[in-house]
Structure 1
Amino acid sequence: MVHQYKSNGYNIVLDVNSGAVHVVDDIVYDMIPLAKESSFDEIADQLKNKYQEDALKEAFEEIKELEKEGLLYTEDIYQDYIMDFKKRETVVKALCLHIAHDCNLACRYCFAEEGEYHGRRELMSFEIGKKALDFLIQNSGNRRNLEVDFFGGEPLMNFQVVKDLVKYGREQEKIYNKNFRFTLTTNGILLNDDIMEFANKEMANVVLSIDGRKEVNDKMRPFRNGTGSYALIVPKFQKLADSRNQTEYYVRGTFTHHNLDFSKDVLHLADLGFKQISVEPVVAPEQEAYAIQEEDVNRLLEEYDSLAAEMLKRNKEGKSFNFFHFMIDLEGGPCVAKRLSGCGSGTEYLAVTPWGDLYPCHQFVGEEQFLMGNVYEGVTKTDIRDEFKLCNVYAKDKCKDCFAKFYCSGGCAANSFHFHGTITDAYDIGCELQRKRIECAIMLKVAQAE
């Protein structure tokens, strides 16, 4: 499979199955769709009014050499491999600990219903959290590196338990020869110097929630009395980002139908001094006023192109920053199994509620049909795990012939379920935006390589 596109003055050709990226001239670009199945004479006849025969012959030979080297027109050899890989014994490597089903903000798009997750407000006890870490260790097999994200609601509303669980985890590392990578996602309202100091010592990554410009953030992320949160959190986030040397954190925002010009929010965050930025589209039922609509897509595609072009400009000016969705590794990156099967939800990665129930991920919490077990008994509904275990790009008809499949891994299972009632479909708007993000990411790599 070959994907071709033009971006920012570059003719880019992606050989999907090998991952090879080629930047080519116009004649090679025009010839590649023809050269797989057609002879040189047939191609020359089609393009004779546009290019000279000598140039056509040289381009044809170049294309055939790339094919011979396994860098063009390569076949997909991974379907049997991923099915065999999925038959292996499942180990759990990561937990999303819902340390607080409560929140001090009332974000209008929150899938967690201000922290309640279709249920009740509750804070996780140390005992439940301890059992969750025990469950992770006991089900991690020979895997040494384990990940735990403190999530909510707002986890800092239960900060003492966060501290106690980190301490417990560090004790267990020594006993079981494990290494915990703790992360924290916070809206910043309760951030103070003591919490920052603790986070800088113990948290491998911190996600700081902010949507961008003041008017955008305060419209969608207010307190329950309607006042905005921007003025309170920005100085705290700037201080924390600087204290972490502008690494190992993200300011993470959500854009909606109300701010289709989201590139301005990304650039606003960059202008505030943040170097690690993630702003991504809201996923919401189409009847919600803030939901991304199909008619918004073309505008959003243009926004991504505009953002990529501005990032190139800023790079040259020495004002670079990282945009999470444009970060791509063309040389290494995740292994093939990871690329084809995604985040590991329902198998390697599970979410834990404050009362100890296990779900495939944080976005399934409260969907009772996906309740998999609990931290005391473990995964008792193995049929749910097995369903997620078989969820990969080859289980999704929309993914099989998509050039992005090795980069997006088939998309989000929760989005698929919420829009189509099955985890083996795909959220169509999300797919369109993801394909554009990948194109922009590759273009940026091409430009940086010059």
Structure 2
Amino acid sequence: MTVLLQIGRRPPGPAASALPAPAAPPTGHPDLRVFRSAHGAHLFLADGSRVYDLPDERTAARLERWATAPDGALDELARELGLPLWERPPRIDGTPAEVPPLASLSLNVMQACNLSCGHCYADEGRFGGSARAMPRATAFAAVDRLLAEAAPGADVVVGFMGGEPLLARELVHQVVAYAERAGAATGHPVRFALTTNLTVLRPEDARLFAAHPFTVTVSLDGDRAGHDALRRAPGGGSAYDRLRAGLALLERHGRPRHLAARVSVTPHTGRLLDVLEHGIGLGFDEVGFAAVVSAPDPGYEITADTFGGFLAQMVECGERALAELSAGRRYPFGNFETALHQLHRGTHRPYPCGAGAGYLSAAADGGLYACHRLVGDPEFAMGSLAEGPDRAARERLLAQRHVDRAEPCRSCWARYLCGGGCHHEVTRRGRPGCDYIRGWLAFCLRAYVELCEAAPGYFRAPADQAGPVGAAGRREQS
């Protein structure tokens, strides 16, 4: 019997959310993909996101021929090649996930912003309506609801979104104090997350972030010229200069536990490698890119025609990260490190995220929605703080948007890594980025094998040294 070596760990159980929409059908077989690295030929199995070394090029070529034109059943091919790979039952079988306990709730504490950005999906935080702030009673009710709906003793996350949440700083400070008291009373450790443009940060905010378990994500669009070209500050001032002043305050008064930069990529964004290295140079713990697919002004959207260029630039960044990490140097490119650690864990999911499942978002008026990007959208309304999450609506979302029920997702080898695409983007723009996602994941598969060979200790390092997740790296004999 041919022996294969499995890279990484056995995957965990299924996770959490997805949706259908027209897109070009993928090529190849949906259950496997042969790829090559500097160390030979390898096999990726969609079931469990497993990666194996193949014993020789003959086996690789036979698998590729079968994937292009299947002749018989997959288990027959496995027996022919002596590959003991297709276990039963499959880890994901099209059955919708059960609605889990609530684990995270974001509060849209200020549905208004001090900046004007043409690519903002939230319409400066108004979500197509009028600017409003969340009342304190509503915010406290959101914390109470999260703790009531959480699993006993589980960690929970309270997020602060906008607009610009620090325009409601007094409320943010009050909610942190209230949540920690309430969580202690119910036995739930509470962590916090906040997304900000950092332009209105004050010393007391920095001290709050440092004193409590906070992840702070900062919107960054490049150097001074690139950032200010996309973010218009009132009175014509520089949004970038204000961001740098905010970073200086964090250095003086205390950094959060994790400080990330998120770059929203538009056709106006400069060379991504330059933006990435600029963000790393500013001292962020992680820098990541997200293509703008849905924006109020279509001129800011990455389209099917421009995703190819986006992929080429992402791979350029990934190659730099691979070289640096292989040499044992830290290089916090978030998209790359997240993908590699997901492959190492064997992450596989039938949904793109926890939206509508373990994660909900509360609007300023107390309505609950599947996520912060879908506030105000009746299709994704999930109940209210007063009456609680709408279980039927959450069940409907998990049933309708399972990746194996979506077209053309069910035919794609990358479906359990992608999960079917962001609900907000797919609802508004379909799936223009499918080829990009497959191209990026194909690069990450090759990079994963090469990093395993060059720096196996990377996957054994603590999370704060090795990236988003520290995992016990190893190759297992199948």
* TM-score (normalised: structure 1): 0.82
- Counterpart of 1:424 in structure 2 is none
Once the two structures are TM-superposed, the CA of residue 317 in structure 1 deviates from its matched residue by 5.3
Q: Does 2:345 correspond to 1:332? A: yes
8 Å contact 2:220–2:263 — kept in the other structure? Answer: yes
Cα contact 1:15–1:74 (8 A) shared by 2:
no
Indicate yes or no: 2:290 matched with 1:280.
Answer: yes
Partner of 2:366: 356
Range with greater deviation from structure 2 (153-162 or 308-317): 308-317
| Most deviating of 315-324 and 161-170 | 315-324
Q: Give the match for residue 55 of structure 1.
A: none
| Change in CA separation of 1:35 and 1:3 when aligned onto 2, cut-off 3 Å | closer
When residues 442 and 308 of structure 1 are mapped into structure 2, their CA distance, relative to the original with a 3 A threshold, is same
Q: Provide the secondary structure at the position in 2 that maps to 1:157.
A: helix
Among candidates 35, 39, 44, match of residue 14 of structure 1: 44
d(CA) in 1 for partners of 2:174, 2:380: 29
Distance 1:38 1:399 in 2: 23
Aligned to 2:475: none
| Secondary structure at 2:268 match in 1 | helix
- 1:99-154 C-alpha deviation (Å, 9 max, x unpaired): 11111111111111112111121221221101111111222243622111111111
The secondary structure found in structure 2 opposite 1:292 is coil
**Residues 260 and 63 of structure 1, relative CA distance in 2, 3 Å threshold:** farther
Q: Does residue 439 of the first structure (1) align with residue 445 of the second (2)?
A: no
Q: 2:134 matched to 1:110? A: no
Shift of 1:243: 7.9
Which residue of the other structure, out of 90, 100, 106, is the alignment partner of 1:77? 90
Match of residue 448 from structure 1: 451
| Residue 31, structure 1, aligned to residue 62, structure 2 | yes
Query: Residues 214-293 of structure 1 correspond to what in structure 2 (within 5 A)?
Result: 214-237=224-247, 240=250, 248-259=258-269, 261-284=271-294, 288-293=298-303
Between 1:179-188 and 1:241-250, the stretch displaced more is 241-250
- Write the distance in 2 (CA, Å) between the matches of 1:13 and 1:243: 49
Gaps of 5+ in 2: 1-30, 454-478
Aligned match of 2:181: 171
Q: Is the partner of 1:315 in helix, strand or coil?
A: helix
2:314 to 304, 307, 316: 304
CA contact (8 A) 2:209 2:256 kept: no
In the alignment, residue 288 of structure 2 is paired with which amino acid?
Answer: S
Q: Identify the range of structure 1 (384-393 vs 29-38) with the bigger mean alpha-carbon deviation.
A: 29-38
Alpha-carbon offset, residue 172 of structure 1:
1.2
Using the size of structure 2 for normalisation, the TM-score is 0.78
Q: Name the CA distance, whole Å, in 2 between partners of 1:429 and 1:286.
A: 17
Q: Report the Cα distance in structure 1 between the residues aligned to 2:113 and 2:59, rounded to whole angstroms.
A: 56
Which residue of 2 is the match for residue 388 of structure 1? 397
Contact 1:260 1:299 in 2 (8 A): no
Say if 1:282 and 1:291, in contact at 8 Å, map to a contact too.
yes
Q: Is the 8 A contact 1:97 1:129 kept in 2?
A: yes
Cα distance in 2, alignment partners of residues 254 and 128 from structure 1: 30
Indicate if the aligned counterparts of 2:50 and 2:346 stay in contact, CA closer than 8 A: no
> Aligned equivalents of 1:267 and 1:63: distance in 2?
49
Relative contact order: is structure 1 or structure 2 higher (C-alpha 8 Å, sep ≥ 6)?
2
Give 1:443's aligned amino acid: R
CA offsets 1:241-274 (integer angstroms, 9 cap, x no match): 7987896221111110122632321122123343
| In structure 2, C-alpha distance between the alignment counterparts of 1:76 and 1:297, rounded to whole Å | 36
CA distance in 1, matches of 2:387, 2:256: 41
Distance 1:63 1:21, change over 3 A: farther
User: Could you say which structure has the larger radius of gyration?
Assistant: 1
Q: Within the alignment, does 1:3 sit opposite 2:33 as a pair?
A: yes
CA distance in 1 between counterparts of 2:207 and 2:256 reads: 15
Q: For structure 1, which runs of at least 5 residues remain unmatched after alignment?
A: 40-59, 420-426
C-alpha displacement of 1:82 = 3.6
Match of residue 64, structure 1, among 60, 77, 81: 81
Q: Is the 8 A contact 1:211 1:254 kept in 2?
A: yes
Matched pairs, number:
412
After superposition, the C-alpha distances for 1:58-101 in whole angstroms (9 at most, x for unaligned) are xx999934x12x2xx66772444743x42xx5422211100111
Structure 1 residues 155 and 240, CA, compared in 2 at 3 Å: closer, same or farther?
same
8 Å CA contact 2:145–2:385 kept in 1: the answer is yes
Number of the residue aligned with 2:194: 184
Identity %: 23
* AA matched with 1:389: L
Q: Work out which of the residue numbers 397, 409, 431 in structure 2 matches 1:428.
A: 431
